[in-house]
Chain A
Amino acid sequence: MRHLLSTTDLDTAAAVHVLDTASQMAATQGRQIKKLPTLRGRTVVNLFFEDSTRTRISFETAAKRLSADVINFAAKGSSVSKGESLKDTALTLEAMGADAIVIRHQASGAPHTLAHAGWTEAAVLNAGDGTHQHPTQALLDAFTIRRHLKGTAANRDGVGSDLSGLHIAVVGDVLHSRVARSNVDLLHTLGARVTVVAPPTLLPVGIEPWPCAVSYHLDEVLADRPDAVMMLRVQRERMSTSGGGFFPGPLEYTRLYGLDARRLAMLPEHAIVMHPGPMNRGLEISADAADSPRSVIVEQVANGVAVRMAALYLLLAGDGDATGQARTPAELLVPTTQEATR
């Protein structure tokens, strides 16, 4: 794997491999010494054109736990805000010897451009682009789901398994959500059945080909007893008519699509509640739901570090591929035997 731009880049085996690697990374994070020497001497640049403290910290932690050098580049206050182009920024980072660029950009497709325009040799990790994709978020969600719903006493993380047989509801602002897009693709790849639930105004035009069912009614979907409910954040600025008039008001949204105590009680015993954060308590999720024992929201954050460690490892560790050829996600799966150099 050369870049991680979209969850559609991963086939089932590759996705399971990333999750299994994340499980091994997570195992090292329970130790007293959490740092591994794996990426010593490599440089990871966090290139954030859009503020996102959590995602940046998560990537920064992951890179540092693997002993990589981390450079944080925030566009705000830099020359980018004075008109420097993505290309010039990329050329600068290339000249400084970046091995991986973690990019968050408000424009859908910016990471793809960075990866394929020939400006840089670095591996590109998409940390969220516009309303398009946020692959590591989807991977950490899948990791969390697998851990809770496929894990056993002997195999706590469910290593080796996909998500077949599970039903997952994704609820909220699907229209603006890269998390929803990435998750629908990845969960489908992993064999889960996905239903997206949203008011008609918050569903994108052209959702029909998505590999998921679509519903306007949360109660009906919950009555179908999903194994996991993933709540999406509703941005407050999108609630008023000036913000686009996607729905009449917060109260109505909460009544129709909010996860409250009553809806929480409708869920089956084993079901988990997820949220990519930051939450609007009282809007899309009530405090009861957010703090309930079945909420795995805080755990998602911890799993995020392990998943990002896995992504950085898989992209960077074998970078010096002698052939210099870009490897496909399928090739990422061929574990090299360790017999050659003992």
Chain B
Amino acid sequence: MSSGTGVPGGGGGSTVVLGEQDVARALTRVAHEILERNKGGADVVVLGIPTRGVPLAQRLAERLAAVEPGVVAEQIVGALDVTMYRDDLAQHPTRAIGRTVEPPAGIDGRVVVLVDDVLFSGRTIRAALDAINDLGRPKAVQLAVLVDRGHRELPIRADYVGKNLPTSTAERVRVLLAESDGSDAVLIEGGE
């Protein structure tokens, strides 16, 4: 891990806490944990929360499919946009609405694993739980995040965590993914 290295373009004081290999290992571990907890992948669907949860969900689905016979990645992956369910819409300039894509078989009676890059206040996940309600009735909802940075404002906790990352509220956690940013990395910025 290249901890402590400044990243070009990342501004002053940014620290890499997870590199490409670390992200890959964390996702592989989370995929195995999902299969272990749910005793296989038969009922599991993964829903990514835009924007960076979506490629993470895609990668998780591919890992699940690689490990578990009978699981097809395209059949179990989807995206869940939560913009219209947020409780802070009035406090911020208008947000662009993302896409919601249900897995082909829907989510009724399945175990839905929500996937996001960073877990912080928990408000996004609260919104996601509302959004799922309007889509259908899953058997259970679980939460997988790449980074848990703490500072929860709601009683929400992740079932699967790539990396626990204690931060101060002044710091900013940035997740870069190859799909949108060219390479995989988790950075901490600011904090002074």
Residues of A within 8 A of B (CB): 1, 17, 21, 24-25, 27-28, 31, 33, 35-38, 66, 313-314, 317-322, 327, 331-332, 334-336, 338-342
Contact = CB atoms under 8 A, between A and B. Distances in A.
A36 B85 contact: yes
Interface residues of B, number: 32
B163 to A, nearest CB: 15
A319 B88 CA distance: 11
Given A37-B85, A341-B120, A342-B121, A336 B97 contact: no
A338 B89 contact: no
A320 B90 CA distance: 5
Contacts, number: 81
A335 B94 CA distance: 7
A339 B174 contact: yes
A336 B98 CA distance: 12
Contacts of B133: 33
A336 B92 contact: yes
8 contacts: A24-B81, A24-B98, A24-B100, A36-B84, A38-B85, A320-B92, A338-B50, A342-B123
A320 B85 contact: no
B187 to A, nearest CB: 12
A194 B101 CA distance: 35
B42 interface: no
B107 to A, nearest CB: 12
B58 interface: no
A17 B174 CA distance: 26
Given A33-B133, A341-B120, 20 more contacts: A1-B94, A24-B81, A24-B97, A27-B100, A28-B100, A36-B84, A66-B84, A313-B84, A317-B90, A317-B94, A318-B90, A319-B90, A320-B90, A336-B95, A336-B96, A338-B50, A338-B83, A338-B95, A340-B92, A342-B116
Contacts of B94: 1, 313-314, 317-318, 332, 336
A318 B99 contact: no
A33 B132 CA distance: 11
B15 interface: no
Nearest to B135: A31
B51 interface: yes
Interface of B: 50-51, 81, 83-85, 88-100, 116, 118-121, 123-124, 130, 133-135, 172, 174
Contacts of B100: 24, 27-28
B96 A36 contact: no
3 closest Cβ contacts across the A-B interface? A335-B96, A318-B94, A342-B120
A32 to B, nearest CB: 8
Contacts of A327: 93
B99 A24 contact: yes
Contacts of B95: 317-318, 335-336, 338
Nearest to A41: B90
A342 B84 contact: no
Contact of A320 (B91, B116, B120): B91
Contacts of B83: 338
A36 B97 CA distance: 13
A36 B85 CA distance: 7
A17 B123 CA distance: 26
A327 B119 CA distance: 31
B160 to A, nearest CB: 16
Contacts of A335: 95-96
Given A21-B97, A317-B95, A335-B95, A342 B90 contact: no
B143 to A, nearest CB: 12
Contacts of B98: 24
B123 A341 contact: yes
Contacts of A313: 84, 94, 97
B103 to A, nearest CB: 15
Given A313-B97, A317-B89, A336-B92, A28 B119 contact: no
A317 B95 CA distance: 8
Given A33-B134, A320-B91, A338 B51 contact: yes
